[in-house]
Amino acid sequence: MEEYFGNVNPVGPRGCYDEAKRFQEAITMAYHNHHGLETRIVRIFNTYGPRMRLNDGRVLPAFLSQALRGENLTVFGDGSQTRSFCYVDDLVEGIYRLLLSNYALPVNIGNPDEITIKEFGEEIANLMGVEFQPTFQELPQNDPMKRKPDITKAREILSWVPKVDRAEGLRRTLEYFKEHITEVTAGKVNNTPRSF
């Protein structure tokens, strides 16, 4: 929930990413409190959908591209880490509602439907009608083991909940990937852990 102040490694491979987010919130609140500026802080969780970059190393483009190319899916660690994926239209609606509110403290916007990365790979393989064949690789350093937003605030303050479930969101995203099949098949899938 939003009141949790976090526990991140400032000098790990994700340090710049984590600390930059924290600093943005700090400076935003400083402008709000000190200068009376109207501000909003949205905490965005894993998001996916059409027009995602096909080759940016995130798990969904990596898995979809690999499945489209008939390759094994690269699962980092044993795949027991969880993520909660929000369809982009839901995210946009949540941000829009937050902008129209007068709430200046952080608000989580994400889909709390949590899934392990291994199950996610299985879902994508099923959707594509291929067998799920994972290649296990080393878990990146400081890769969070669990990510699931508590969206009580968004529900109460913005009357917002995500509407597009993963089955529907993945179908729509797959359509987009199929339209861009040449880009998917031409380039090598980027599945190197993102270093931010």
Active site residues: 17
Q: What residues have CB less than 8 Å from 174, skipping those under 6 apart? A: 64, 127, 128
The label of the residue with tokens 């179908």 reads 171
Q: Whose CA is closest to 196, among 3, 61, 21, 79?
A: 21
Q: Confirm or reject binding of residue 101 to ligand UDP (CB under 6 A).
A: no
User: By CB under 6 A, what part of segment 3-62 binds ligand UDP?
Assistant: 46, 58-59, 62
Q: Confirm or reject binding of residue 176 to ligand UDP (CB under 6 A).
A: no
Tokens of 66: 């690999």
Stretch that binds ligand UDP, among 27-35, 71-79, 108-116, 163-171 (CB under 6 A): 71-79
Q: Confirm or reject binding of residue 142 to ligand UDP (CB under 6 A).
A: no
Stretch that binds ligand UDP, among 74-82, 99-107, 154-162, 163-171 (CB under 6 A): 74-82
How many Cβ atoms are within 10 Å of 135's Cβ, its own excluded?
11
Closest separation in Å from C-beta 42 to ligand UDP:
16
Q: Confirm or reject binding of residue 166 to ligand UDP (CB under 6 A).
A: no
Categorise residue 162: left if φ over 0, alpha if ψ from -120 to 50, beta otherwise. Answer: beta
Q: Confirm or reject binding of residue 76 to ligand UDP (CB under 6 A).
A: yes
Stretch that binds ligand UDP, among 32-40, 69-77, 107-115, 150-158 (CB under 6 A): 69-77
Strands in the chain per DSSP E: 41-44, 47-48, 73-76, 82-84, 86-87, 106-109, 114-116, 134-137
Closest separation in Å from C-beta 196 to ligand UDP:
9
The label of the residue with tokens 């929000």 reads 86
Judged by the rule CB under 6 A, the positions of this chain that interact with ligand UDP are 46, 58-59, 62, 74-76, 81, 83, 117, 140, 143, 147, 191, 194
